[in-house]
């Protein structure tokens, strides 16, 4: 939700479309949530298409203990008031990528099923993609098993396809997103803005912050997905090292592990820019400006 809002608020990037995938909740819920978010911020001009409802080869695993039964618990979102794109996410991705006069950047913030399916269906489309900046994985951290981050764990085979695609890829993983925390006091400051968007986002972030405190001991809401968008807007927010990353698909205890060769032990050519440091104050300031921008835009249309 915050990632979509930040992309819409920025003047530095153009959001061409949104595709959804089953991940933290079932596919029909994540799809409806995207429609509700765009309805809230009056951006019915952005096409939204529903994608894969399950991983490539595995049963779906969701995370209601973190995101609630709706996938966006805490937020009082309006009913969808924008029309969804009539086709599948793969078709929308192909259309937007091939029709763009410039190469596009993909910012996946869930399991990588849609992107993997796209590359398997149309390998040549990779020539029209500038880069992939994804939220997922970690060099040193984890959040779903002792070895794995949730998005990669849910569909490791899809991640393997994407990480092996040969495209410029930045992994905005838990090493930085768990540090990109909006504190409880910063969430209270957001609530005090009292605008039509900030007043919806603040309760969501409060719910998410409490879940993270209860489960992980994090004192606030780590804004995972939006950090990937923010790093496209301002790459200086992150410091990354170039390393070889492989995806573990078979391990009994390590399924979904992003195996980052930090010390080049294997001698393999680096294939991923792995984000390792983040300027959290600058990121939180960017988010605050985005919420103010969206508040003003919605109020102006009201």
Backbone angles phi, psi at 13, to 5 degrees: -130, 160
Structure tokens at 20: 């959804």
Per the CB < 8 A criterion, the answer to whether 90 and 51 are in contact is: yes
Q: Which residue, chain included where needed, has tokens 């996938």?
A: 71
Check the CA dihedral 244-247-251-254 and report its sign.
positive
Number of H helices and number of E strands within the chain? Answer: 12, 10
d(CA 63, CA 25): 6
Out of 3.90.245.10, 3.40.1160.10, 2.60.40.10, 3.30.2130.10, the CATH code matching 2-301 is: 3.90.245.10
| pLDDT reported for residue 302 | 44
| pLDDT reported for residue 301 | 57
Question: Where exactly are the structural domains of the chain?
Answer: 2-301
Helix locations, 221-267, DSSP H? 224-233
Structure tokens at 79: 């009913």
Per the CB < 8 A criterion, the answer to whether 10 and 290 are in contact is: yes
Per the CB < 8 A criterion, the answer to whether 302 and 196 are in contact is: yes
d(CA 8, CA 23): 22
Catalytically annotated residues: 224
d(CA 290, CA 176): 20
Helix locations, 218-279, DSSP H? 224-233
pLDDT of the chain, 302 residues: tens digit per residue: 999 999 999 999 999 999 999 998 999 999 999 999 999 999 999 999 999 999 999 999 998 877 778 778 777 888 999 899 999 999 999 999 999 999 999 999 999 999 999 999 999 999 999 999 999 999 999 999 999 999 999 999 999 999 999 999 999 999 999 999 999 999 999 999 999 999 999 999 999 999 999 999 999 999 999 999 999 999 999 999 999 999 999 999 999 999 999 999 999 999 999 999 999 999 999 999 999 999 999 998 54
């Amino acid at each position: 939700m915050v990632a979509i809002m930040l992309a819409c608020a920025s003047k530095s990037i153009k959001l061409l479309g949104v595709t959804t995938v089953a991940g933290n909740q079932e596919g029909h819920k994540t799809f409806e949530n995207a429609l509700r978010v765009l309805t809230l911020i009056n951006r019915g001009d952005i096409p939204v298409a529903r994608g894969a409802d399950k991983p490539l080869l595995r049963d779906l695993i969701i995370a209601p203990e973190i995101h609630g039964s709706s996938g966006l618990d805490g937020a009082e979102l309006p009913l969808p008031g924008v029309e969804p794109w009539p086709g599948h996410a793969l078709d929308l991705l192909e259309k937007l990528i091939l029709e763009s006069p410039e190469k596009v950047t993909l910012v996946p913030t869930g399991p990588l099923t849609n992107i993997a399916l796209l590359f398997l269906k149309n390998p040549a489309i990779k020539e029209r993609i500038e880069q992939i900046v994804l939220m997922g994985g970690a060099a040193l951290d984890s959040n779903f098993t002792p070895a794995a981050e949730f998005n990669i764990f849910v569909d490791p085979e899809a991640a393997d396809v994407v990480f092996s695609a040969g495209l410029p890829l930045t992994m905005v993983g838990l090493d930085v997103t768990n540090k990109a925390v909006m504190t409880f006091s910063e969430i209270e400051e957001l609530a005090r803005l009292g605008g039509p968007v900030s007043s919806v986002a603040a309760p969501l972030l409060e719910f998410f912050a409490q879940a993270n405190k209860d489960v992980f001991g994090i004192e606030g809401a780590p804004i995972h997905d939006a950090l990937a968008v923010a790093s496209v807007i301002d790459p200086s927010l992150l410091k990354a090292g170039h390393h070889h990353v492989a995806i573990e698909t078979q391990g009994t205890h390590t399924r979904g592990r992003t195996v980052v060769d930090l010390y080049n032990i294997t001698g393999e050519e680096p294939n991923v820019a792995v984000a390792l440091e983040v300027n959290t104050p600058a990121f939180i300031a960017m988010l605050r400006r985005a919420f103010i921008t969206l508040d003003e835009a919605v109020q102006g249309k009201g």
